[in-house]
Each structure stands twice: as structure tokens, then as C-alpha cells.
Structure 1
Amino acid sequence: MDRSGAERPALALTWESDNTNHRWQFRLRPGVYFHDGSLLTSASVVASLNVSCNADCPWTAVKVVGPLVVFTSDSPMPNLPALLASDEFLIALVATADGKTPVGAIGTGPFQATGFNNGVLALTANENCWSGRPFADAIEIRMHRAVREQWLDLSLGRADLVEVPAEQIRLAQQQKLTVLISPPVTLIALQVSDSGALANVKLRAAIAAAVDRSALFNVIFQKQGEVTASLLPQGLTGYSFLFPADQDLNKAHELRGGLTTAPLTLHTEGDAAMQLAAQRIALNLHEAGFNVQVTNAQHADLVLRKLLIAGSDPAAALDRIVWDTGTIGSITEQTDAALFKREQMILDDKRIVPLLCLPEAFASGPRVRDLHLRADGTPDLADASLEDAR
């Protein structure tokens, strides 16, 4: 995807669908090589996709047809190109020419991995990249470094690019950091199990009505992004405001109707802010008569998740969320009315409870030039350059 969120040719030069979007064929760019010198072929693409998505894929089958990569499905896939543009389906070499499994990640992109030691991933420029050599000679990515330490590194010239969590954007701006901020590209949502006691949709609806989104927005995430009860942000669809987002404890008690459940478990994906959000949600649900315990267990009744809002096409973005959350069905009609109706059907089931749409942000050092954020909020390092320090 380009910076505006539209699909553009990369490893695939052209693509087309037939049979009412049940079949797609992609023609590959010729003369593309993996970092080890292996030629990119339709067979290597299919092998990579079978590894990255071996179950619950957006397609039923993917196969090689001469120079083409062909996808087929039992249901329509109108947004398949947008799904394939996401990082889940990056193409990597699965087997070397002699049939061995490669050591490390071998792709076709502008930077290639050359080492990983003491928590530092080393990348060097790919001189023969199909899209041209990147401006930077090398990148070092330091893993698992606290945000406070990253900002200190930036101030001392030991880092050129650091993370800025959404809840710390205002603080970074107050400290005069050069901050790049994306539009809302991350959906914070509560995924609710539909098994056991929560098979009752009224109990799931009671949970949705009990959450105080405004407290999450104002206190924890410091008024960044937007409060939402819609899966997609207002700027993408124009109809997000139609879904009521206010907490309604009276309605929650009415929907619960005196029903009691065993203690529910709540797990969260993410950092300290997400942990605080989970604690606040557990308190909200306690006020509605639910007993909720925040846990590290992966299989929980409730999961507080971060979901990517990808691209500028709302139907494709909704399709991506549907696939990420395991919701049944795809977006077959692409009209605004059909999109709204489809989202309403998903939300009425109360298995996904949208809470906030947040931006992604990064701070850059003084020698960084021409750095932009991609459509998913990640920095486009291939087109960035560094001012000569000499």
C-alpha cells in the first residue's frame, strides 16, 4: 500500500479477478531475487503463503499456474489485493535451491538481515533490490527497550527513530520532540467469547453497554485518537457517530437481568497502557454485576486487542478486521449502504466491542530526512535518508 492506503504494484505487477471475485490471478514482476540470489517464482510465492497462512486463510486454495499465482475461494474475495498487501503475507524464502530451510529471514526487500546479537537486529542495504537501493546503508533495531530509554537515546544521538505510544504523544510534543503521527490506524476492541455463559447475546450486550470508553480515552490514552463504537474510524466511513458509544450501566443491568456467571477472565494484548485499560474495563464490568479477573492466560472469556485498520478503502479495512477476529463472512458488496449494514450485523452479535481508534507515532532525530509513515502507521525506512554528519 502507498502512503494514502491504496494498493500499488510491488512483487505483483498486475492482478485481476473473475467468477464474481471467487478467483484471482496475480502476475509477478520478472527479474526479482531473494537476498540469497534465488529467483522469485510463482512457486516460491505459493510456498511462502502456505507457511504464513496454513489455516483460516482468506482464500480456499492458492496454486501455481505457469507464471501466475492463482487464488480460489468458495466465497467472494473482493478485497483480496488489500489483504495481501498486509505484513502477514510478506513473501519470504521457504527453501533454498538445495531444498534446505534458510537460516533467518530471507526476503526481497530493500534491507536484508545480517545479524542478531544481544537484542540488536542488524539490517544492511540490498544493493540489488528490485525497487532500487535504499538511501541508508544500514539499520540497527534495538529490541525490548523501554520508551524512556529510547527517548534518552534519541536526546544523546544514540538513536535516530524511537517509539511514541499514543498515550505519550502529548508528552513528546511538550518535550519538543519531532513527532510523526498517523491517522487512527489501530482499533482497540474487546473480543468477547460466545461460549459458555456468554453464549447468551444479552450478556455480551450488557458487557458492551458497561464499558466507559470516555474514561479510557481521557485518562489512559490522553485524548489521542477517537472514541468509537464502530469498527472503522469516522474519517474513513463518515458513519461512525451513528453507533452509540456512551456507557449505560442501567441498560447493562437490564440486559443482564439478574443472570450471574462464573468469574470471567480478561486477557490483554499489549503494553502497560493496555494493562491499565483492562483493569479499568474490569472495574466497569464489576459495576454492571460481573465478576472479572484480569489474567495472563491466553484463552480468556474477554480479550482486549489491538487491530490494524489498513488502507483507505473502508470495505477492505473492514474485511481485514473480519478476518483478524475470525468473524464469519466477508464483505461482498462494496457500497456504503452495504458496508454499514454489514458492520451493524457484526456489532449486533456483540462478539467484537470497539472502544477506541488510536494513531501510531514515532519521534525522529535531527539528522533524519524524508521520513514518512506508511498507511499502517509504520515508518517507511527505505525512502528515508540521513544528513551527512561530516
Structure 2
Amino acid sequence: MSMKTQRRGRLMALGVALALGSVLLSGCMGSAGSATSTGGGATTAPDNGSATLALPTEPANIDPIMMRSISAWNMYYAVFDGLTRIDSAGKIQPGLATEWKSNATQDVWTFTIRKGVTFQDGSALNVSDIVYTYNKILASDKSTNRVAIAMISKVEATDDHTVQFTLKNPFSAWLNQVATIGIVPEKVYEAEGPDKFPNAPVGSGPYKFVSWNHGVDYKVTRNDDYWGDKAKIKDITFSFVGAPDARVTGVESGTLDTAIIPASQVPVFTGASNAKVVEAASNQIAFIGVNTTAGALSNLKVRQAIPLAIDRKSIIDSLLNGYASPTGQPVAKGVTGYVDGFPTPKYDLAAAKKLVADSGYDGSEITLQYASTGGSPTDPEVAQAIAADLGKAGLKIKLVGAEQSSLSLSLANHQITGLYLNAWSPSSMDGDVVVSQLLAGGPEDYARSPEMAQLYLDQQAANADKRADVFKKIWSWNATNVSNVPLWQNTNTYAAASTISWTPAVDGIYRAAEVGRSAK
């Protein structure tokens, strides 16, 4: 059996395990948009020492009022609780709320709040703290969390254990949104303010803040008064290690216990006695974004040639070491909105050439922007391979590399000049945000289609059992009109100390409380 066949076998086994985990971990869904659960009971956890978990980037801020970022969520999920939580398989579970329900139109959501929860300073968590947290976010024009809950019309405590949200429009993904909002104690936040609170945060989560050494690490210790299952390891350090090589050598030497590593570095750990490689399907989709108004790309036939001209399998095998799966939709398996059986474009160079010829393409230059540094280590090589494939189809591609932060600024400011290589990983584990950003009026949507705008609203208003039908229409519209070209679902590869027991989350964010270890 070849190494590649072995790898595929491991990935298939992992997929089965994740699927089974989804069944076992998913909350009990009631009828008509409601769910109930008793939640986890308090347990006694052994003192399993400490662990150091590597992060590729350090967040600019770790304040659940002000900051919304993938890197910050690693700490959010350790120190703070949301009304719901997203488990490692990407499913919604009870958090501070034990049960919830919505009205028939899904624009009024009511949550029953868990009794007896305390913040890490010993004060009681009250419904008023929840109302305060949401209103504080909405009142700040500097909060990057504000856009995630901007659809709130009113949030109010209807009694001592119930909070109700009235939304401006129906929103079926509300349970996913509230999972990403950490609740803060009103008295502490008002006393400290946004400048001081991040340096001594107080939440109700499974870990308590210890220290933040900017540029180096962020330390927490187990909250033994936590309302739910106690964290498995007593002391956790999140270490900020940007260089992939440094993360690899850190796990090799034992200074790091876990780290995400490039697929190309997996062979380093073959036969290692003190470390292992852990593979996990991710929620990240790599894609080519398209400015549908730019020059030759305004021609539909030119755009339709692009997905046929890219040899996904060849790129995955040669540049990604097989750690990806081709796809034709912009959300990953496991994310709400993924449609089973939706077709992936097959590599067909002859058909791509014919579309280009039939389009009347005049040979004008088409830019392909990508992250030359600061993004995925393979982005430059992948961009070159895609440019070569498109060149074979008759398109003249000009590669434009830039630091990831510069590319991100161009994306945010709607300033893409042609094509761009990017990836999306919705930490809410719901396709709503992907559609919003890429296809329905967000900064990466250049088509501005009224038809898509209506489909987006239809998706938000649809009940859970009907959303898949709407998402299928959305992905079909994109396949026909080519506002973006989904490429593949990435597989995350981690190096971990052999004593670490842990299943990486599909969104790539640490659930520190779930990381365990045996005696060294």
C-alpha cells in the first residue's frame, strides 16, 4: 500500500469518526426551531500538569466586546462562555443557555439561562450581564463583533433567567452567531473599560486568565468553580509562533505540545517517539475570487472556462501532499450549507479552450493576486500552478504577490483588479457569512446580483430543514455565473507530543478544556 493510499485511508477513517461524533454530540432538536438540553454537569478533573499550544498569529486584542478574529477565539473559548457553544465537530451545544426557541418566522429568539453560574471573580452571572454585553457591542462603532449581531433590534431580560432577542429580519443561523459572543461581567467591564479589561479579563469559562506577555504567549489556569466539565489540563499556555519551521522544531524539541504545521513537514515526524502527526478535516475552502466587472472577466464564457481549466487533483497531489479534497461549493463538509453530492467541476482543458475561443477574448492581461508572504506557505506555488493552467486554456495571467495583510486590505476595500487566491473558514460553522461576504453584497462580491440578494434573504428566513434547498440554489447560481471558483477543502495537519490526547476541531480553533495528556 502506497503512502498516499495510506493517507487517504486515514482521512476516510477520520471522516467517519467526525460523522459519528456529530451524531453523538449534536443537541436534541425540538420542533419548529427549538432545542433543549440539560447541559454538562460538574465533574472532578485530575491535575494533568501543563501544556503549550502554538498559535501561528497573535490577536491584536482579546476582548469579546471589541474583537472578532479566529486567533482570538482560541482564548475566548477558554476564558468566556457564549449562550451556545460550537463543539469540536462543528455542532451547536448548550452553553450559558440550557434551552432556546424561536418564533415561526425566526426573528424572535428566547434563551433560558443556566442557574448558578459564576464569573471567575466569584460574582454571579445574571441575565443583565448578557443584555449588557450585547448592547455594549452594538453601541461601539469600533467593535469588529458589531457586524455579527447588527441584525438585533432589541435584546431584553424577560425574567431573571430568560433573555430574548428581537431581530430586524429572520435569521436561521442565530444559534451559531451567539456561540461566538463571550459574556462579560458588567461591573468589571465598566470599571476597567476596553483599554484595561483585555489585560485582566474576567469570564465564566473553563479557564481563568493568568497573564499576557505580548508577542510571546497568553497563559490561563483551570477554573475549578466552572459550572460544567472541568478542563483536563490545569495550566495552558498559548504560544505565538509565526514561523512554520519554528512550530515544527518546537514540537520536536518538546517546547511546544501542539502546533499546526504545513503538510510538507509531516514526514519530519515519521518514526518519532516523542511526537506524532494528527490529521483533521478543516472547515476551510480555498478558492479563486473573481472581479466579474474587470476587463475580460466581465465575459461569462471567460469566467466559465476558469473552473474547467484548473487541474485540482494535480495541484493537491503535487503541492499539498494530498491533504485536500476537490470541491465545487464554497463551504466545507460539516458547515451548515454544505450540499451532499453537489458537483465538482472536472478538469477539461479542451472545453476551457473552446469557451475562451468562443468568448472573443482579445488576449488582454488578467491579474491573479495572492499572498506571497503571511498566508499559507504553499500560496505562491499554488498561484503559479493555477496561472499555468489558465495559460494553457489561452488566458494571459499576470501574477501579483503581496503580504497577506495587504491582500486582506484590498479584499476589505473591494479593490481586487481581476482574480485572487484566498480561503474562507467560517468559525460560526454556518454558510450564511460565506454567502454574505462572497456573493450577497459583501466586500468580495463584485456581481451584485439582485437574484442572489433575494436568495440570501430566502436562506436566512428558511427553517433548518429547508435551508439546504436554498443553499443548493445559491451554489448552482455561483457555478453558472462564476463569481468565485471553489477549489478544495483543506485538511489540517498538526504535530503533537506523544503524551497529548486531543481531537482537533473542524474550525481549527483550540478547545483548550478538551486537550488532555497522559503522564510524561
Q: Tell me which residue corresponds to 2:258.
A: 161
Asked if residue 270 in structure 1 is aligned to residue 402 in structure 2, the reply is no
Deviation at 1:362, TM superposition (A): 1.9
1:295 to 401, 406, 410: 401
Asked if residue 231 in structure 1 is aligned to residue 231 in structure 2, the reply is no
* Partner deviation per Cα, 1:145-180 (whole Å, 9 max, x = no partner): 433332322232222112233444455456574222
Q: Tell me which residue corresponds to 1:120.
A: 217
Secondary structure at 2:100 match in 1: strand
* Partner deviation per Cα, 1:40-90 (whole Å, 9 max, x = no partner): 5222331465334333x475225322141404133x3223213443x4x44
Q: Tell me which residue corresponds to 1:245.
A: 346
Normalised by the length of structure 1, the TM-score is 0.83
Q: Tell me which residue corresponds to 1:61.
A: 152
Question: 2:214 & 2:150 partners in 1: Cα distance?
Answer: 38
Note the 1:1-390 alignment, pairs <5 A.
1-35=86-120, 39=125, 41-47=129-135, 49-50=137-138, 51-55=143-147, 57=148, 60-66=151-157, 67-74=162-169, 76-85=170-179, 87=180, 89-91=181-183, 96-98=189-191, 100-101=193-194, 102-104=196-198, 106=201, 107-113=203-209, 114-169=211-266, 172-173=269-270, 177-197=275-295, 198-233=297-332, 237-240=339-342, 242-248=343-349, 249-254=352-357, 256-261=359-364, 263-268=366-371, 270-287=375-392, 288-296=394-402, 297-298=406-407, 299=410, 300-301=416-417, 302-308=419-425, 317-325=430-438, 327=440, 328=453, 329-330=456-457, 331=459, 332=462, 334-335=465-466, 336-369=468-501, 371-389=502-520
**Kept in 1: contact 2:286–2:489 (CA 8 A):** yes
Question: 2:354 & 2:315 partners in 1: Cα distance?
Answer: 20
Change (3 A) 1:260 1:183: same
Deviation at 1:8, TM superposition (A): 0.8
Change (3 A) 1:352 1:263: closer
Deviation at 1:96, TM superposition (A): 1.5
**Kept in 2: contact 1:48–1:92 (CA 8 A):** no
Secondary structure at 1:100 match in 2: helix
Question: 1:309 & 1:96 partners in 2: Cα distance?
Answer: 28
Question: 1:293 & 1:261 partners in 2: Cα distance?
Answer: 14
- Of 63-72 and 201-210, deviating more is 201-210
Question: 2:251 & 2:484 partners in 1: Cα distance?
Answer: 38
**Kept in 1: contact 2:107–2:168 (CA 8 A):** yes
**Counterpart residue type for residue 222 of structure 1:** N
Change (3 A) 1:127 1:64: same
* Partner deviation per Cα, 1:345-372 (whole Å, 9 max, x = no partner): 2332311210011122322213324x22
**Kept in 2: contact 1:264–1:292 (CA 8 A):** yes
**Kept in 1: contact 2:263–2:323 (CA 8 A):** yes
Q: Which has the higher helix share?
A: 2
**Kept in 2: contact 1:18–1:24 (CA 8 A):** yes
**Kept in 1: contact 2:98–2:112 (CA 8 A):** yes
* Partner deviation per Cα, 1:287-341 (whole Å, 9 max, x = no partner): 4323322232432233322222668xxxx74334213435341523644544423
* Partner deviation per Cα, 1:93-129 (whole Å, 9 max, x = no partner): 6872337224316343223442224522222223333
Question: 2:366 & 2:485 partners in 1: Cα distance?
Answer: 20
* Partner deviation per Cα, 1:180-208 (whole Å, 9 max, x = no partner): 22234221112212333244433332333
Q: Tell me which residue corresponds to 2:26.
A: none
**Kept in 1: contact 2:284–2:331 (CA 8 A):** no
Change (3 A) 1:211 1:21: same
Deviation at 1:11, TM superposition (A): 2.4
Deviation at 1:253, TM superposition (A): 1.7
**Counterpart residue type for residue 168 of structure 2:** S
Change (3 A) 1:149 1:60: closer
Secondary structure at 1:96 match in 2: helix
Q: Tell me which residue corresponds to 2:36.
A: none
Question: 2:120 & 2:165 partners in 1: Cα distance?
Answer: 25
Change (3 A) 1:365 1:199: same
**Counterpart residue type for residue 79 of structure 1:** A
List, as ranges, runs of 4+ consecutive aligned residues in structure 1 with deviation greater than 6 Å: none
Normalised by the length of structure 2, the TM-score is 0.64
Secondary structure at 1:104 match in 2: helix
Question: 1:230 & 1:110 partners in 2: Cα distance?
Answer: 36
- Of 165-174 and 358-367, deviating more is 165-174
Aligned residues: 379
- Of 256-265 and 180-189, deviating more is 256-265
Question: 2:134 & 2:250 partners in 1: Cα distance?
Answer: 41
Question: 1:154 & 1:147 partners in 2: Cα distance?
Answer: 11
Question: 1:349 & 1:146 partners in 2: Cα distance?
Answer: 38
Question: 1:83 & 1:349 partners in 2: Cα distance?
Answer: 29
Change (3 A) 1:261 1:35: farther
Extract unaligned runs of 5+ from structure 2.
1-85, 411-415, 441-452
**Kept in 1: contact 2:207–2:220 (CA 8 A):** yes
Question: 1:318 & 1:245 partners in 2: Cα distance?
Answer: 24
Question: 1:325 & 1:25 partners in 2: Cα distance?
Answer: 30
**Counterpart residue type for residue 61 of structure 1:** I
